[in-house]
Structures are given as C-alpha cells and as structure tokens.
Amino acid sequence: MQKSHDPTFTASENAVLANYKKHIDHSTRFIPLWVKVAVAMALGLGTMVGWKRIVVTVGEKIGKQHLTYAQGAVAEITAMATIGAADGFGLPVSTTHVLSSGIAGTMAANHSGIQWSTVRNLALAWVLTLPVAMCLSGMLFWLFRKTF
C-alpha cells in the first residue's frame, strides 16, 4: 500500500491557513489605480508604435513558413488555457512568452520548421529582461532617493 503525500489538516488548521492566505493576498495583490493606468497607457502606446514588428516576428519569423489560421487559433487557445491556469494558481506569466511558445509548438508539430535564430533571440530577451529590469529599477530608486 502506498502512502499518500497529501497533507491532512484539521478544521482549525484550515481556518488559520485561509486567514493567512487572505492577509497575504490582500498585501501582495494590491495595485494602486495610478499604476494600473500608467501600465495600461505604456502598453497601449508601445503596441501602437511597435505593433508591426511584434506581428511580423510572431507571425512570420518564428517558423520557417508563415503562420496559418489553424496554427494561430491553436496557439491562441493554448495561450488562453495556460494563462488561465497560471492565474488560477497565482503564477506570473508573460502573455507574449506563452503565445510565442505556443506558435513555436504549432510549427514543430506541423513540421513547418522553426527559425532557431529567432527563438534564440526571444529566449535571450526573456532571460535578460528580469535582471536588467531589476538593475534599472534599483538604479532609478537610488537616484530618485538621493535627488528628491
């Protein structure tokens, strides 16, 4: 007989955990309105200016052949399910990363071929984004704290 690795909690322990989760969610999921508006504006303006480069890269440069309607639909459905699952578990994901990976998956499944140089550049950008953003925000914080 195999042992179950699922923990069993008493009702009082479940109540403590639920209370703890409520407090953690309240303290970590709060985003001020001005931050939401600023991010929405930045994303909207960035997409307005750079949409063509994004569309060409995602639609034409990941695979060796252009993306078909079926591949686009499957990649979007996969992205929707992945992002929905990540949200349900409270995990952070990038919609662009998920969609690009889905498109690469459809290209591989369809034997259309993948342009590895583009995938390498995307992966490098994904890996470098976090440390560069951390350094930039740290430097800006230090600069603003010293200046103001």
Q: Is the pLDDT of residue 96 over 90?
A: no
Beta carbons of 82 and 98 less than 8 angstroms apart: yes
Query: Among residues of the chain, what percentage have pLDDT more than 90?
Result: 52
| 65-95 burial: b if 16+ Cβ within 10 Å, else e | eebeeebbebbeebbeebbeeeeeeeeeeee
Better pLDDT: 32 or 17: 17
CA distance 98 to 134: 22
Q: How confident is the model at residue 8 (pLDDT cuts 50, 70, 90)?
A: confident
Q: What is the pLDDT of residue 124?
A: 93
Beta carbons of 123 and 96 less than 8 angstroms apart: no
Q: What is the pLDDT of residue 136?
A: 96
Prediction pTM value: 0.62
Q: How confident is the model at residue 131 (pLDDT cuts 50, 70, 90)?
A: very high
Q: Is the pLDDT of residue 27 over 80?
A: no
Kindly report the number of other CB atoms within 10 A of residue 104's CB atom: 20
Report the C-alpha dihedral over residues 121, 54, 91, 133, rounded to 10 degrees. Answer: 60
